[in-house]
Amino acid sequence: MKTSDVQTLYSEYILPTYTQAPLCLVKGKGSRVWDLNDKEYIDLFSGWAVSGLGHCPSEVVNAVRNQVTKIIHIPNNFLNIKQARLAEVISKHSFPAKTFFCNSGAEATDGALKFARKYGSNCGKYEIITMKQSFHGRTFGGIGATGQEKVREGFSPTLEGFKYADMNNLESVKALISSKTAAIFLEPIQGEGGIHVATQEFMQGLRKLCDEHCILLICDEVQTGMGRTGKMFAYQHYGIEPDVMTLAKSLGNGLPIGAFVVNKKIKDVMTPGSHGSTYGGNPLAAAAALAVFKAIEGGKLLKKTEELGEYFEKKLKALQKKHSVIKEIRGLGLMRGLELEVPGADLVDSAREKGLLINCTQGNTLRIFPAMTISKTLLNKALRILDEVFAELSVKG
Ligand SMILES: *Cc1c(COP(=O)(O)O)cnc(C)c1O
């Protein structure tokens, strides 16, 4: 099969909800992937930050291989060892917590929203404050929570009860708080919105506001979780704890799994029958997620991510000095954004032609997510390609 044959099948049979590059990947190992012509690419996109440990890490491959021959599915009205142990590990690495498992980030959002509504239902609280430029998924709950008008276009009436504040502007949040506010829901670092990092004052201020007004603080860690920023969860950079956090993306390193995690001190909100998911916490996906935690546990990989992240930032800043088209560099750990003076799509295309996968969001922000396991050598090689791409742009431009 050729790439064009796959494209033909897509145009015949797949609903066109994505803009697709003419690239058909068939193999991955670590931070390298191959297309069906056996052309090799360095992957600094990691599938929207899903492949945190790189592609096909042996720990995850072995865990899945082991589990798949034993039992693939257990219904949630029976007990599942892998799910129970995974919930224990999540609690150990975050706060004393109870977890609900689902299959994606959007479902984790929906679950957290339902939790917040139920929490507030006794005292008439149902409003949820989220941030402008946020992203929380594509279900009706997700597009309601997402602070970008474009995701709701054509889908009215969407879920009610959301108010949108400005990221890093505590006053704008205060102005939206009322006796009906049940929760404040935000990404510690906005991913889709262009890699905007919450400031210390903002996160700590939100925690204080939530405590004063009996409001839940919910952190969306779908993109920032599982070590990407140099800590297991991004909220840990701020010396605060959320009441609820959502997880997905690299939780299963590619096996579909999501979760919302609730602080144990919030008791008796969910009861049997109040929420459910057929596949949620499925043994196969849970085995993968357990293997992901095992690979990150011990702290070596987190330390490496922090150090490599700082190195990467330094290198990107050097690139910025050289290429004036780079307006700003943002991010933490191995989650980085380069805001450009020009649209980024052409740069993504020319990088791909040269064997480097990156992403562009918000039209002008390159989004780069190296796997935590990437070698410095490969990262440097990727940086050289980026340098070339920018150099060619300035010749063209
Ligand atoms: C990707 C993402 C989601 C949605 O996850 P899906 O698995 O695509 O449903 C939610 N929140 C954030 C912050 C995300 O980056």
Q: What is the mean pLDDT of residues 202-223?
A: 98
Q: What is the mean pLDDT of residues 276-285?
A: 98
| Closest ligand 1 atom, residue 187 Cα | 13
> What's the CA-to-centroid distance between 318 and ligand 1, angstroms?
31
> What's the CA-to-centroid distance between 369 and ligand 1, angstroms?
15
> So what's the pLDDT on residue 396?
72
Atom 10 (ligand 1) nearest CA: 136
- What does the DSSP assignment read for 139-154? SHHHHHHSB-GGGTTT
Q: What is the mean pLDDT of residues 157-173?
A: 97
The answer to whether residue 323 scores a pLDDT higher than 90 is yes
> So what's the pLDDT on residue 315?
98
Q: What is the mean pLDDT of residues 190-207?
A: 98
245 lines ligand 1 (CB under 6 A): no
> So what's the pLDDT on residue 267?
83
> What's the CA-to-centroid distance between 89 and ligand 1, angstroms?
22
> So what's the pLDDT on residue 89?
98
> So what's the pLDDT on residue 386?
98
The answer to whether residue 160 scores a pLDDT higher than 80 is yes
Q: How confident is the model at residue 226 (pLDDT cuts 50, 70, 90)?
A: very high
228 lines ligand 1 (CB under 6 A): no
> So what's the pLDDT on residue 394?
78
Q: What is the mean pLDDT of residues 316-333?
A: 98
The answer to whether residue 295 scores a pLDDT higher than 70 is yes
The answer to whether the pTM exceeds 0.85 is: yes
> So what's the pLDDT on residue 10?
97
Q: What is the mean pLDDT of residues 211-220?
A: 98
> What's the CA-to-centroid distance between 222 and ligand 1, angstroms?
6
Q: What is the mean pLDDT of residues 238-261?
A: 98
**Mean per-residue pLDDT of the chain:** 97
> So what's the pLDDT on residue 59?
97
> What's the CA-to-centroid distance between 105 and ligand 1, angstroms?
4
Q: What is the mean pLDDT of residues 199-228?
A: 98
Atom 5 (ligand 1) nearest CA: 105
Q: What is the mean pLDDT of residues 195-223?
A: 98
pLDDT digits (tens, 9 = 90+) for 27-70: 999 999 999 999 999 999 999 999 999 999 999 999 999 999 99
- What does the DSSP assignment read for 246-307? EE-GGGTBTB--EEEEEETTS-SSS-TTS---SSTT-HHHHHHHHHHHHHHTTSHHHHHHHH
Q: Which pairs count as long-range contacts for 338-346, CB under 8 Å and 24+ apart, including other chains?
A: 338/365, 338/366, 338/368, 339/194, 339/364, 339/365, 340/364, 340/365, 340/366, 342/393, 342/397, 346/393
Percent of all residues in the chain with a pLDDT value above 70, rounded to a whole number: 100
Q: Is the dihedral of CA 143, 101, 260, 160 positive or negative?
A: positive
Percent of all residues in the chain with a pLDDT value above 90, rounded to a whole number: 97
Query: Residues 112, 102: contact at Cβ < 8 Å?
Result: no
The answer to whether residue 319 scores a pLDDT higher than 80 is yes
Q: What is the mean pLDDT of residues 108-133?
A: 97
> So what's the pLDDT on residue 397?
61
